[in-house]
Structure 1
Amino acid sequence: MRFAADLDQHPNAGLSALRVGESLRRQLQHESADLSILFVTPAHAEHFEDIVQSFRKELPTRHLLGCTAESVVGRDREVEGGPAISAWAASLPGVDVQTFHAKFEQTPDGVLSDGLPTAEDLPGQVRTVLLFGDPYTCPARFLIDRLADDLPGIPLLGGMASGASNPGEHRLVRDDEITNFGGVGAVLSGPIKVRSVVSQGCRPVGRPFVITRSEKNVMFELGGRPALERLRETFAELPDKQRAIFQRGPHIGMAMNEYQDHFDRGDFLISSVIGADEDDGAVAVGAMVRTGQTIQFHVRDAESADEDLRSMLSPLKTIPEGKGRGALLFTCNGRGTRMFEQPHHDAAVVQSMIGPIPMAGLFAQGELGPVAGRNHIHGFTASLAIFEPEFELPPVR
Structure 2
Amino acid sequence: MIQDVPRFKAAFSSSPDWSKACAEILNGLGDLPPEANLGCIYVTDVFADDLSSILTFLKTKTGLDNWTGTVGIGIGANAANQLGRFSAVELYDEPGVSVMIGSFPSGSFQVFESGQMETDEGIKLAVTGEGVEKWLETNDPYLGLIHGDPRHYDLPLQISSLSAGLETYLVGGLTSSRGELPQIANHVTDCPLSGVFFNNSIHAITGLTQGCTPIGPKRTITSADEQQIYTIDGRPALDILKEDIGELLSRDLSKIGGYIFVGFPVEGSDSDDYLVRNLMSIDTSDGSLNITEEVMTGQPIFFCRRDNEAARKDLNRLLDDMRARLPRSPKAGLYYSCLGRGQALFGPNSEELNILRQEFGDMPLVGFYANGEVSHDRLYGYTGVLTLFY
> What TM-score bracket applies, with the shorter chain setting the length?
0.7 to 0.9
Q: 1:88 to 1:238 in 2, by over 3 A?
A: farther
Check if 1:34 corresponds to 2:37: yes
- Residues 274 and 286 in structure 1, CA contact (< 8 A), matched pair in contact too: yes
Q: Which whole-Å deviations, capped at 9, do the CAs of 1:222-267 have from their partners, x for residues lacking one?
A: 3333322221211227899xx997566421221123798xxx7x42
Check if 1:71 corresponds to 2:74: yes
Give the distance between the partners of 1:227 and 1:87, measured in 2 at CA: 47
How far residue 178 of structure 1 moved from its aligned partner, in angstroms, is 2.3
Letter in 2 for 1:71: G
Aligned residues: 371
Give the distance between the partners of 1:130 and 1:48, measured in 2 at CA: 19
Check if 1:227 corresponds to 2:232: no
Provide the residue aligned with 2:47 in structure 1.
44
Provide the residue aligned with 1:89 in structure 2.
101
Question: Out of 168, 171, 187, which is 1:157 matched to?
Answer: 171
Letter in 1 for 2:344: R
Give the distance between the partners of 1:138 and 1:355, measured in 2 at CA: 39
- Residues 59 and 65 in structure 2, CA contact (< 8 A), matched pair in contact too: no
Q: SS at 1:99's partner residue?
A: strand
Provide the residue aligned with 1:145 in structure 2.
160
Provide the residue aligned with 1:391 in structure 2.
none
Provide the residue aligned with 1:99 in structure 2.
111
Q: Which whole-Å deviations, capped at 9, do the CAs of 1:107-137 have from their partners, x for residues lacking one?
A: xx97554435789934344221112233335
Check if 1:171 corresponds to 2:174: no
Q: SS at 1:287's partner residue?
A: coil
Check if 1:344 corresponds to 2:355: no
Letter in 1 for 2:22: A
Q: 1:277 to 1:51 in 2, by over 3 A?
A: closer
Question: Out of 218, 221, 228, which is 1:211 matched to?
Answer: 221
How far residue 187 of structure 1 moved from its aligned partner, in angstroms, is 0.8
Q: SS at 1:206's partner residue?
A: strand
Q: Which whole-Å deviations, capped at 9, do the CAs of 1:324-382 have from their partners, x for residues lacking one?
A: 52111112233333333323122112222344421001122222223xxxx22233322
How far residue 147 of structure 1 moved from its aligned partner, in angstroms, is 0.9
Instruction: State the TM-score, normalizing by the size of structure 2.
Output: 0.82
Letter in 2 for 1:377: L
How far residue 71 of structure 1 moved from its aligned partner, in angstroms, is 2.0
How far residue 12 of structure 1 moved from its aligned partner, in angstroms, is 3.5
Provide the residue aligned with 1:53 in structure 2.
56
Letter in 2 for 1:229: D
Provide the residue aligned with 2:11 in structure 1.
6
Q: Which whole-Å deviations, capped at 9, do the CAs of 1:181-202 have from their partners, x for residues lacking one?
A: 4432111112223322222300
Letter in 1 for 2:28: S
Q: 1:229 to 1:126 in 2, by over 3 A?
A: same
Letter in 2 for 1:174: A
- Residues 33 and 59 in structure 1, CA contact (< 8 A), matched pair in contact too: no
Question: Out of 240, 262, 266, which is 1:252 matched to?
Answer: 262
**Runs of 5+ in structure 1 lacking a partner?**
389-397
Q: 1:291 to 1:123 in 2, by over 3 A?
A: farther
Q: SS at 1:348's partner residue?
A: helix
Provide the residue aligned with 1:284 in structure 2.
290
Q: 1:14 to 1:287 in 2, by over 3 A?
A: same
TM-align CA RMSD: 3.4
Give the distance between the partners of 1:44 and 1:294, measured in 2 at CA: 42
Provide the residue aligned with 1:395 in structure 2.
none
Give the distance between the partners of 1:93 and 1:303, measured in 2 at CA: 41
Q: 1:381 to 1:259 in 2, by over 3 A?
A: closer
- Residues 125 and 162 in structure 2, CA contact (< 8 A), matched pair in contact too: no
